Amino acid sequence: MHAKEDGHRCYKANTYSPEDLPAHQNILGALASLCLSALLETSMAPHPLTFSVRRCEPVLVAPAEPTPHEFKGLSDLDVQKGARYQISGIWFYQARNAEPGGDAVDPATAIKDALSRALVYYYPFAGRIRGDTGGGKPVMECTGEGVLFVEADADVRLEQFGDTILPPIPCAEELLQNVEGSEGVTRLLCGGFAMAVRLNHVISDAPGLFQFLRATAELARGAPRLTLLPVWKRELLDARDPPQVTYAHHEFDEELEDLAEQDVESLLRTFFFRREDVAALRRRLPEDLQSSTTFDVLTACIWKSRVAALRLDPERRVRGLFIMTGHRRYPTLVPQGFYGNSFAHPAAMCTAGELCGSSLGDVIRMVRKAKSEMSEEYLRSQADLLAVRGWPSFTTSTGSVIFSDLRQLGLRDVDFGWGQAVFTTPLNVIGAGTFYVPYRNCKGEAGIAVVLRLPAPAMDRFAGEIELMMEEGPEVPEL
């Protein structure tokens, strides 16, 4: 298990402030900006890696054809306060060979054109989310204004990143526009490029965003039309009338946060677990848990180590929240092509003392039990609770952590004509978030990159807890 943490510096060139951006990019904008940067040749630099970026003026990419100007409803899952933030990610691509006798294709031009065509199908992305100042439900206004797109040049090669391609990515803020509703492509001198995307979570969850990006990629590769047509139908995930909250939903428990905990500086860090590391953890388990999934084994290890590193009061309630989506699970509730929010995060709950005193196997059982609650009824019950309580956020206290497994989404399969992405990862990780991303390191070892954030004082202790757990022998079941 290896780790990588913050500590990179970068030099900014030709930057601009949010005031320079179009006024219609309101605080609840749907999709942010697309930034394209070309990376120039330099020698391999010692860490920390630094590079400069030169940006062009941002432009709005509108749908290629006229689209309806209308208001669309958002579901009770869409507008929960826990989804009212920006999600962002970055994709890195290698160069492709030019066609014999032809000119090299500019990725910015290809993606910009495909984006315009994709917005004809996904025209809400070209609109704006409008909030209700009276505390009511936000709605989607389909204005056809478009998505912000920025081209830029940066003086670094893809291979210079090495394993620093893992978060915290050097100068990530240079590759991603600080505007909601945006995509970004960074051309590399080696012929490759990086594409960064920023999206308001209210309009889509991760599967919905990837569906849109795959649609854009399909058109970029020359398809005359989309294979999978988008479905809006947000009313399917609205609360019932009358609401029927049938589960406890401890993930929405209100918990007061200590002011001292709120002021602690946090660090972003990536821990790389090889397949051998996960196998070593699995060998510790009793026979009845040997078939545990990689997610369950790794999550139990990280959750227990995290709480131990935080040194919480033994009587404090702690929660592990596990992101699970309705996509592909419940076709009547979440039909094929649906790209709205359909996620739930069932929670396991106990005291810090109970968690730290439990065996790895017992924590796995807690994770399994919480995940087993996920069902179509669970999603409906969650929508009902959200509507009744005014769309609260899931609990974000220091004692809570949210696990999101992105390995099954086909992140690297967003192919604009340059093949699979070399690597892709989320960029903004909120305090309670922990993401699992497939990764192969510079040694060719396959495994999982675990991206997480912790208060600075706890980060080294967390690494120590993980190492200690990896070294422990098999668990002996109680008689």
Options 153, 155, 201, 345, the catalytic residue = 201
Q: For the domain with range 2-237, which CATH number is right: 2.102.10.10, 1.20.1250.20, 3.30.559.10, 3.40.50.2300?
A: 3.30.559.10
CB atoms within 10 A of CB 340: 27
- Rounded to an integer, what distance in angstroms lies between the CA atom of residue 232 and that of residue 146? 18
Task: Write down the catalytic residue from 106, 113, 415, 460.
Answer: 415
pLDDT at res. 54: 81
Return the SS3 of 316: coil
pLDDT at 429: 76
Residue 187 near residue 153 (C-beta atoms within 8 A): yes
The model's pTM is 0.85
Coil, helix or strand at residue 98? coil
Range list of β-strands (E), 94-165: 128-130, 139-142, 147-154
Tell me the pLDDT of the chain averaged across its residues.
83
Q: Which CATH number fits domain 250-471: 3.50.50.60, 3.40.50.1370, 1.10.287.3510, 3.30.559.10?
A: 3.30.559.10
**Rounded Cα–Cα distance for residues 19 and 326 (Å):** 39
For the chain, give every domain's residue range.
2-237, 250-471
Q: Do domains 2-237 and 250-471 have the same CATH topology?
A: yes
What pLDDT band is residue 9 in, cutting at 50, 70 and 90? Answer: very low
Residue 180 confidence class, pLDDT cut points 50, 70, 90 = low
User: Is 327 marked active-site?
Assistant: no
Q: Is 8 a catalytic residue?
A: no
Residue 189: the pLDDT is 65
The predicted structure's pLDDT at residue 216 = 97
Mean pLDDT within 440-452: 90
Given a cut of 80, is residue 174 above it in pLDDT?
A: no
